[in-house]
Copies of this chain bind each other. A is one copy, B any other.
């Protein structure tokens, strides 16, 4: 390499370091084909078996008389809390659900498209514990919650602020939703999820969105996507149905999502699990459309397998990959957006097990065309723990996946025949004009992988990825800058919360 070439390289490298290496689009627009692991024959078998489950076995809708009346009125056969659906009824009801919708963020540049050839990554949801290398595992607090919201706000390939990024266990159960919602609204300008643990908390979520976005805007647009789990097998409970009704009537999106540890909450086979998943989504999803035809609905499927030795949930194994891919196909056949996958693992720590399992799940998620990928970052220990290091490690992988979905560049520049002609046999491409011209965007750069020589790596302390991630999340939090929020809106949100909190006593139920 000539001195001039070397200098040119150094200058370009310096410039590149000052630019973000990251993806910039607010959500993924796929430019690569789908992985579809199930044959049409397999899908038809699953669909026929789901119809059989709906008609012969039926689904339980518990503690919600109103929903039973709605289903009866729509033509279902209701006996007590057990509801049998004539063949085709659910599919007919679901025809009003949109194939795709926009979820608005308070910063419209952060709006996401959910459905079609789009993928949206959202953070881990639900863990009572948090973990970092310095303090190990402990109960989550509202400070941890805010930290994860801030990290998600900063991660370029994290498209969504999520919902319960960890449980703020230091706040009373019946009031923590106020502070969680407010954290998403105040510390991020990305879209978020609403509370589902009580219909009143769902109503509070809608009310706070009406303050943030305006009442009419909320009625006419979707500003929350919220998670309605089925109590698999084949049960919906009153809490989830109550939240579902609030959101659907308010034109807000519901993910109707069987939460399944296969072998415990569904059969031990992929096909059996899929038939049950489909039956649950079809029936629960139908309720959203009875509440408000056209309310956004996501076909959800959280599926893990249990260890047949211990009963413990396992992650990143082949059976859930098959289920994710096939369920995505079933959702596309229903013309519904699909939620599944993420960066799931059973490991307690951000080690190789965590990474193998998370990468297996994330590859299945992205390649199968999942539209809404909850648990995209931070998930540890089967969802019991939100990991700080794991969060930024996963975010790094999300950026990789976003680049993957951009696929091939077929332009002349992408074909690079000028470079091949310029360089020729036996030479190298480092200094050629094409390489220099594409220097900054050529390959996505991991912010956490160490690709240096062994000697350099060792001289820098011989750190593993988790140790580097420990440095990264701290530096992100140190550099965090809150997105501006209208002062009047902020005050109105705080006033609403204060008034509501004062109106009923604390409780941990």
Residues of A within 8 A of B (CB): 13, 16-17, 32-33, 35-39, 41-42, 45, 49, 52-53, 56-60, 82, 137, 231, 233-235, 262-273, 275-276, 305-314, 316-319, 321-322, 326, 346-360, 363-364, 367, 381-382, 384-385, 393, 397, 400-401, 403-404, 406-410, 413-417, 419-421, 423-430, 434-435, 438-440, 442-446, 448-454, 457-458, 462, 464-466
Q: Could you tell me the distance in whole angstroms from the C-beta of A17 to the nearest C-beta in chain B?
A: 7
Given contacts A409-B270, A409-B271, A464-B352, contact A234 B322 (CB under 8 A): no
Say whether A270 contacts B466, CB under 8 Å: no
Q: Which residues of B contact A262 (CB under 8 A)?
A: 443
Question: Which residue of the partner chain B has the closest CB to A13?
Answer: B309
Q: Which residues of B contact A430 (CB under 8 A)?
A: 263-264, 311
Say whether A443 contacts B307, CB under 8 Å: yes
Question: Which residue of the partner chain B has the closest CB to A346?
Answer: B451
CA distance A322 to B451 in the complex (A): 20
Say whether B265 contacts A403, CB under 8 Å: no
CA distance A471 to B320 in the complex (A): 28
Q: Which residues of B contact A356 (CB under 8 A)?
A: 355-356, 358-359, 393, 397, 449, 465
Say whether B313 contacts A451, CB under 8 Å: yes
Q: List 30 A-B contacts (CB under 8 A).
A: A13-B309, A33-B37, A35-B367, A37-B407, A37-B408, A38-B408, A49-B417, A231-B426, A234-B426, A265-B429, A267-B435, A268-B443, A270-B408, A271-B408, A305-B442, A305-B443, A307-B443, A308-B442, A309-B445, A312-B451, A313-B451, A316-B400, A317-B403, A318-B444, A326-B408, A346-B450, A348-B457, A349-B462, A356-B359, A385-B454
Say whether B312 contacts A452, CB under 8 Å: yes
- Which of A268, A311, A313, A360 has the most B CB atoms < 10 Å from its CB? A268
